[in-house]
């Protein structure tokens, strides 16, 4: 057992530093998807509620495609498709060199689109809980639609959507393990490399399990704090 634990050291021959670097890539990738996926998902939900046919149709197609495709297939299509498209565009402009797309960027785009598709359904469900009377009351007070959404509707949407968004976040966190298929060196990729060198699969996969469980536990604490923050006025109203 001590010999196995020594494999996690940060000294020469240990895999501690490599696994830590992979864990940071995993967390960085998941966090990088949030600034894209969350607002895009909200935008898709708003489009789905539009009175115009084209935005509704576009939102339906987007949600159906990226919720229906396996995450791995989406990742591969984005990664290889972007390279092929960029290659053909540059070839048409007279550039004949090889085009390589950054693996981190491709994974960020792919998972952001998937996260947006799933989160749009959460936002839509949250919209349905906001009473129409609140919109009418805001209009009676002279508030613009933008102000009504920002000051009245959006804080309620966040509070209602948080449990569903936290589940989507955990799914995103686990889906990042798929990036090893395009050679992005995340926690799962480093674990596989460690297993291939040391021939200790159960030990290193167990360490990876603990890593993902730790990420999930920390995420739960963060989301719990956010939920308490957005529900603080409800506690005040009860007292």
What are the per-10-residue average pLDDT scores of the chain (239 residues)?
74 86 95 95 94 94 95 93 85 79 92 96 91 85 86 87 93 92 90 91 92 93 87 60
Q: What per-residue confidence (pLDDT) applies to 234?
A: 63
- Is-above-0.75 flag for pTM? yes
Angle at the Cα of 135 from the Cα atoms of 132 and 139, rounded to 5 degrees: 140
Q: Where are the domains of the chain?
A: 15-69+110-229
Q: What per-residue confidence (pLDDT) applies to 53?
A: 94
DSSP 75-103: HHHHHHHHHHHHHHHHHHTT--S-----H
E-assigned strands of the chain? Answer: none
- Residue 46's Cβ-count burial label (10 Å; 0-12, 13-18, 19+) is middle
**H or E element: which one contains 184?**
none
Q: CATH for 15-69+110-229?
A: 1.10.3720.10
Say how far residue 82 (Cα) sits from the centre of its chain. Answer: 20
Q: What per-residue confidence (pLDDT) applies to 237?
A: 52
Q: What per-residue confidence (pLDDT) applies to 146?
A: 85
Q: What per-residue confidence (pLDDT) applies to 132?
A: 84
Q: Are 107 and 75 in contact (CB under 8 A)?
A: yes
């Amino acid at each position: 057992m001590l010999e196995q634990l020594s494999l996690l050291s940060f000294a020469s021959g240990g895999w501690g530093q490599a696994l830590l670097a992979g864990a940071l890539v995993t967390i960085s990738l998941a966090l990088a998807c949030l600034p894209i996926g969350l607002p895009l998902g909200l935008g898709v939900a708003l489009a789905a509620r539009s009175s115009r046919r084209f935005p509704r149709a576009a939102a339906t197609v987007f949600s159906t495609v990226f919720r229906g495709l396996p995450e791995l297939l989406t990742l591969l299509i984005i990664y290889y498709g972007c390279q092929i498209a960029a290659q053909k565009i540059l070839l048409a402009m007279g550039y004949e060199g090889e085009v390589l797309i950054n693996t981190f960027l491709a994974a960020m785009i792919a998972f952001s689109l998937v996260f947006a598709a799933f989160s749009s359904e959460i936002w839509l469900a949250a919209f349905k809980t906001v009473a129409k009377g609140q919109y009418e009351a805001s209009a009676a007070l002279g508030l613009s639609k933008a102000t009504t959404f920002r000051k009245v509707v959006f804080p309620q949407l966040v509070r209602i959507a948080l449990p569903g968004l936290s589940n989507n976040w955990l799914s995103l966190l686990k889906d990042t393990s798929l990036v090893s298929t395009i050679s992005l060196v995340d926690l799962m990729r480093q674990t596989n490399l460690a297993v291939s060198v040391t021939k200790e699969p159960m030990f290193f996969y167990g360490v990876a399990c603990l890593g993902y469980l730790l990420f999930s536990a920390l995420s739960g604490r963060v989301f719990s704090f956010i939920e308490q923050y957005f529900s603080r006025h409800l506690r005040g109203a009860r007292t």
